[in-house]
Amino acid sequence: MPGVRSLIPKLVILTEIIAPYRIPVFNALAQRGEVDLHVIFLSENDPTLRQWQVYKDEIKFQYDVLPSWRRRLGRYNLLFNRGILSALNRIKPNAVLCGGYNYLASWEAAYWARAHRVPLLLWSESTAFDGRRGHRLVEYIKAHFLTLCRAFVVAGKSSASYLKDLGIAEDRIFTAPNAVDTLLFAAPADAARRNDVQVRARHSLPPRYFLYVGRLVRAKGVFELLEAYAQLSPEIRAEIGLVFVGDGAGRSDLMERASRIVPGTIQFAGFVHREELPEFYALADAFVFPTRSDPWGLVVNEAMSCSLPVIVTSVAGCTPDLVQDGWNGYVVAPADPAQLAAAMSRFVSEPEARMEMGSRSRERIEANSPNAWAEGLVNAMKSVCAEMQ
């Protein structure tokens, strides 16, 4: 019907890169028809951090990629853009959702929204365990940005609790659970298990193994994971290996330390694109996420989609929402190799419990779907748009 489209509120999402795990949730929101979605990406990718492929052919929503200039100075990521104001003036959104406050473009969008009386929402994954907390300048910048926001969209319980601690009213917080396309991982994983001999040979995988997927950097707890594996009994290490999938600054150091662990099979598979990841998940005994600080950890979603039991640290943002200790995995303290080793040993000694936990993971992760994320965004949009009427 002519004119109906104009009645649908326009939402601009401002986010950093075309991350493969974000495309399914943005597609789900665009397909609902309750929001006219337009995504503005600050960059296509960040090759200095990850080697992700850009799956433009899967995008089913309107989007722009702004011209950008990027530099990495130590742990700090500098990203400057041109064109954010002209893009917002062209799109004329009814609301703007910023995926953070650490880029200049986010602040430009925030002040554009204030000048045009358009509600600003913050998409926040920060938790009380965020490694950046406590820096005076960061806390000052954060506090000011929060005052510009009408509502907040969080990934789960940890990020919601963090905002409440900062004084944000509960009725201004909306949950859009962090999600991956579960079928994108579950179906290939099931196929890999049916062809396990060929898959294992193709990737030179050990007969049994614990799996880690992610960047090989200290903040992810990979050195504690290697130490935990070394603390397993020689009999267990002779039976089950450890596979690292990913790359990063700590890789050479990890490999040198791993070479001294005997007996044991430790494999470094390097960076693996999304299409092959389910095969690594499928044949693993369990997934281990030993992070010291992480806003969420979408690799846990992926592993659970592939029916894996998981070991996670208590500081991972996803833990309160996805992992119940003793039910679909184990929750351990960060930076505690002894406790991590004990959890790994239990998986080896209790194979039936391990299988049952994997089934529970698959069942549990269905609640964190792209459609559930889209529902959370729609609820937030309805709230802020109703306030403006």
Chain segment 313-332, per-residue pLDDT in tens: 999 999 999 999 999 999 99
Distances (CA, A) of 146 to 100, 143, 185: 10, 5, 36
175 burial via Cβ count (<10 Å: 0-12, 13-18, 19+)? buried
CATH fold group of domain 4-179+369-388: Rossmann fold (3.40.50)
Tokens of 364: 């549990």
> pLDDT by residue (tens digit) across 202-253?
999 999 999 999 999 999 999 999 999 999 999 999 999 999 999 999 999 9
Distances (CA, A) of 363 to 52, 212, 305, 323: 28, 21, 8, 12
* pLDDT bucket at 7, cuts 50 / 70 / 90: confident
When pLDDT is averaged across residues 190-195 and rounded to a whole number, the result is: 97
Q: Which of 60-74, 200-214, 283-297, 354-368 has the lowest mean pLDDT?
A: 60-74
DSSP per position, 276-290: THHHHHHT-SEEEE-
Which amino acid is residue 310, in one-letter code?
V
Dmax of the chain from CA atoms? 72
Kindly report the average pLDDT of the chain as a whole number: 93
When pLDDT is averaged across residues 105-134 and rounded to a whole number, the result is: 90
2 pLDDT higher than 50: no
132 pLDDT higher than 70: no
Tokens of 303: 């592993």
262 pLDDT higher than 70: yes
CATH superfamily of 182-365: Glycogen Phosphorylase B; (3.40.50.2000)
Within 13 A of 387's CA, how many CA atoms are on the CB side?
15
Tokens of 152: 């907040």
DSSP secondary-structure letter at 56? Answer: G
Distance between CA atoms of residues 372 and 368, nearest Å: 6
Say how far residue 290 (Cα) sits from the centre of its chain: 14
Which amino acid is residue 109, in one-letter code?
A
pTM of the model: 0.94
Tokens 């009427």: give the residue.
389
383 pLDDT higher than 50: yes
Question: What are phi and psi for residue 242, nearest 5 degrees?
Answer: -135, 125
Start-end of H helices in the chain: 4-7, 23-32, 84-91, 104-115, 136-147, 157-165, 182-194, 196-203, 222-231, 234-239, 251-258, 277-282, 298-305, 319-322, 337-349, 351-365, 370-388
At residue 129, the pLDDT reads 86
At residue 76, the pLDDT reads 67
Q: What is the CA radius of gyration of the chain?
A: 22
> pLDDT by residue (tens digit) across 148-188?
999 999 999 999 999 999 999 999 999 999 999 999 999 99
CATH 3.40.50.2000 domain range(s) in the chain: 4-179+369-388, 182-365
How many beta carbons lie within 10 A of that of residue 362, not counting itself? 17
> Is the preceding peptide bond at 263 cis, omega within 30 degrees of 0?
yes
Length of the chain: 389
Distance between CA atoms of residues 128 and 315, nearest Å: 9
Which amino acid is residue 188, in one-letter code?
P
Distance between CA atoms of residues 176 and 251, nearest Å: 34
133 pLDDT higher than 60: no
Which amino acid is residue 65, in one-letter code?
V
* pLDDT bucket at 75, cuts 50 / 70 / 90: low
